[in-house]
Structure 1
Amino acid sequence: MVERVICYRAPSTVAAVDEIADWLRARIDADVTVRDRFLDVHRTDDLAERFAEVRVPSPYERDTGNTMLGTIRYEERALEHPEREGGVLYDGVRIQRALNAALPAEERGLETLHLAILDRAIGTWGEHDGRWHKRVNVLGQPALLSVPGLYEAPAKPEAYYKEQQRHALLSGDTPPREVLENQVDGEFLVEDDPRTTDALKGYALQAYHFLETGEPFCDREVCRLFNAHYHEDLIDAQLREPEFCGEHARLYE
């Protein structure tokens, strides 16, 4: 039984974590509190090295990590100045293990859910297709919520990728993301999107729901607990009425 949820701020992002906490507080039977950035509150001496060990070098290589001194120095700087970090993908499951080890022993039990909202891109390895997939969240203890993942993990409308290919054929390089976002009609979230906080609320609830019930996701696309693989589905699930399917409305409305 989850008795309390601790949400951690992500100050280098537009995610308003206090607002997410208020939304959770109104829907779950647990004490919800907010702390500063997880990577500051639970900083350990080896955290930069742990991040370096789980960097993903290639979308198609299972092995991770680069513990050369320059990489560790980069990770140290990213911990101190998160606004400068970007463009690196990390193994979400191993990051979760590292952050779990950083928790104080008395807070590691499953009656306390730590909800680490991160400014890092995280992924999991797909055994079925032999490649890394970006994720919005990794459920468990602590639960990880990736703000960059919200923008990057779900697939965008088909027109986005067609425009990307067209530009590459004409110019020989990949266009800047902002160019594509301005040229392609369709609904998808972009970096620093004003809808970020509202969209993350459902992902925060997924973390609580998993620890409380053991059920990872809902298979109904009209529910906040749905695990969307496309931006259109994410917007339907997180930003449109109804908030929940009938079954989960009884629990959380």
Structure 2
Amino acid sequence: MAGKITLYRAPTTVADAEEIADWLRERLAADVAVRERFLDAHRSDDGGAPSTEELAEQFAEARVSSPYERETGNTMLGIRRYEERTLDHPERAGGVLYDGVGVQRALNAAIPESERPLDHLHVALLDRAIGTWGDHDARWHKRVNLLGQPAIVSVPGLYEAPAKPEQYYEEKQKTALLSGDAPPREVLESEVEGEFLVADDPRTTEALKGYVLQAVHCWRTGEGFCEEEICRLSNPHRQPGVVEAQLRDPEFCEAHAESYE
């Protein structure tokens, strides 16, 4: 399936959208373009696109208030003003989890009508943490990506969503019991054995290539994630699995190597 893919930068992160786009071009018969941050490219206070105030309202409605409460949203004036500030100054954002489906709905509505043909996929690298509600355990779960239109790939989700090695949490709990406070993340990362990605990890761009391709693969074929743990199209729930799938050879299982190598 040929078509067009538009990849949007996340300039406050270390993710290199141009490198990801080049990697996609080597594997796809598609026109891959790179644009500025989605929330800048499709936002206007002069009409023709959602305004800062409108987008801020939608992000406020998508805020997760508790990991164990299904209902989302806090549209108090102070929260809306915070969301407006972070739209203009994204480096100030952080520490908030958003309902990924709610964010995706808002971003979908912001795509111009002329850019909504079925053969045009938008993929937004996002500097926000997103989650989905788990009916099986009645809690929110952070996600790295959300497939669909537009597809969302959360850069902080890469570090936060897949679980780290058990020793990481054991050391964190032990230090908290002894000192009454959790140790700095940097201390834990230096003491815990095992492979996992951390904030601003130099391997971020390489790892995100597979998550972007997952969105493209779903758009091209209608298929979900791959069941083979060694494949870039798999969706592991633990950090060692992310390292194995995204940063180790082979890149793909035998079935998907035919399409993407």
TM-score clears 0.5: yes
Deviation at 1:18, TM superposition (A): 0.2
> Are the equivalent residues in 2 in contact too, given 1:2–1:211 (CA < 8 A)?
no
> Could you tell me which of 158, 163, 186 is aligned with 1:150?
158
Which residue number corresponds to residue 7 of structure 2?
Answer: 7
Q: Which residue of 2 aligns with 1:172?
A: 180
Q: What is the match of residue 41 of structure 2?
A: 41
Q: Is 1:187 matched up with 2:180?
A: no
Match of 1:131 among 116, 139, 144: 139
Give the superposition deviation at 1:167.
Answer: 1.1
TM-score normalised by structure 1 residue count: 0.98
> What letter corresponds to residue 138 of structure 2 in structure 1?
G
Give secondary structure in 2 for the equivalent of 1:165: helix
Match of 1:96 in 2: 104
Task: Find the partner of 2:63 among 55, 58, 63.
Answer: 55
- Cα distance in 2 for residues equivalent to 1:53 and 1:174: 31
1:5-41: CA deviation from partner (whole Å, max 9, x where unpaired): 0000110000000000000000011110100000000
Q: How does 1:47-86 map to 2 (within 5 A)?
A: 47-86=55-94
**Structure 2: segments with no counterpart, 5+ residues:** 44-49
What residue identity is the alignment partner of 1:199? Answer: A
Letter in 2 for 1:109: P
Q: CA deviation at 1:177?
A: 1.9
How many aligned positions are there? 253
SS in 2 for 1:57: coil
1:200 and 1:128, CA in 2 relative to 1: closer, same or farther beyond 3 A? Answer: same
Query: Is the CA contact (8 Å cut-off) linking 1:114 and 1:143 kept in structure 2?
Result: yes
Q: Which amino acid aligns with 1:9?
A: R
Give yes or no for contact 1:20–1:197 (8 Å, CA) kept in 2.
yes
Question: TM-score, normalised to structure 2's length?
Answer: 0.95
Structure 1 residue aligned with 2:167: 159
Counterpart in the other structure of 2:204: 196
4+ runs of 1 displaced by more than 4 Å? Answer: none
CA distances 1:95-152 after superposition (whole Å, capped 9, x unpaired): 0010000000111232101000000000000000000000000000000000000000
Question: Structure 1 residue 154: deviation in Å?
Answer: 0.2
Deviation at 1:156, TM superposition (A): 0.2
- Closer, same or farther in 2 for the Cα pair 1:98/1:2, shift >3 Å? farther
- Aligned-partner Cα distance in 2 for 1:4–1:160: 41
